Amino acid sequence: MVIDLIEKKFSLKIPEAYLPLVEDIRLLKSDENNPNRMSLKQQEQVWRSLQKYGWTYPIITNKDGVFADGEQRAQVCKTHSEFFAPVLRLPVSDVDRRMLRQILNKLKGKHSRELDGAEYLRIIEAGEKQDLQALLAAVGEKLPEDLGGESESSNMIPDSYELLIDCKDEAEQQRFFEKLKGEGYHVRVLNL
């Protein structure tokens, strides 16, 4: 009975396991410092994804309802008058909430050109080329030419091999850079 009442408050799919987490996202709080920003095109892609797949993972907040992850999804939902979503409240300190936000925003990895191409091909063969192109456009990428796109995507690992050398200081870094550059290698400085 309670679940039936909750389900009437939202239109997006929510997995059964997340139903106990459903709450009014209008009551959640922003610290107004979220460094993650989305274009209007990306926001629309998020909305289409939520409509198609539902809540594949919940919004994450601290125990007081301050966003750690999902603030953009919540904003998109509120724009579309969708006010209820699964929210996982974690008992974390403010600094841990901020660290969690950084981790969830930044640790995304890079894509293998070959494996991405194979994945794109499977999506296209399943009849979803337009949705794939819309998704790629939302993140500033294009479908590769050999799959019916205009140009290759910029978020791919290049077809090259790289060497990373740990240097003890800036002077040693400069010596290696000049030596390898002088030998005709394409060299770039990366400070980690």
The more confident residue out of 132 and 146 is: 132
Instruction: Read off the pLDDT of residues 83-135 as tens digits, 9 standing for 90 and up.
Output: 999 999 999 999 999 888 888 877 766 667 787 888 888 888 888 888 888 87
Q: In what order do the strands lie in the sheet with 84-90?
A: 22-24, 84-90, 59-62, 67-69
Quickly list DSSP for 15-69: -GGGGGGEEEGGG-B--S-------HHHHHHHHHHHHHH--SS-EEEETT-BEEE
The more confident residue out of 4 and 174 is: 174
The more confident residue out of 189 and 161 is: 189
Taken in order 85, 82, 74, 116, the sign of the CA dihedral is: positive
Q: Residue 136: pLDDT band by 50, 70, 90 thresholds?
A: confident
Domains of the chain plus CATH, in order, are 2-106 (3.90.1530.10), 113-147 (no CATH), 161-192 (no CATH)
CA of residue 29 relative to chain centroid, distance: 21
Q: Alpha helix locations (H) across 54-164?
A: 71-79, 94-106, 113-125, 129-138
What per-residue confidence (pLDDT) applies to 5? Answer: 45
Spatial separation of the C-alpha atoms in residues 139 and 37, rounded to whole Å: 12
DSSP 158: P
Beta-bridge partner residues of 84: 24
What per-residue confidence (pLDDT) applies to 18? Answer: 95
Question: Residue 91, SS3?
Answer: coil
Instruction: Read off the pLDDT of residues 37-74 as tens digits, 9 standing for 90 and up.
Output: 888 888 999 999 999 999 999 999 999 999 999 999 99
Which bin fits 162, alpha (ψ -120 to 50), beta or left (φ > 0)?
A: beta
Q: Residue 163: pLDDT band by 50, 70, 90 thresholds?
A: confident
Instruction: Read off the pLDDT of residues 177-190 as tens digits, 9 standing for 90 and up.
Output: 899 889 988 887 76
Beta-bridge partner residues of 86: 22
What per-residue confidence (pLDDT) applies to 166? Answer: 83
Does the pLDDT at position 34 exceed 80? yes
The whole-number average pLDDT for the span 147-158 is 54
What per-residue confidence (pLDDT) applies to 154? Answer: 47
Gyration radius of the chain's alpha carbons:
22
Tokens of 7: 């389900």
Tokens 């999506």 map to which residue?
123
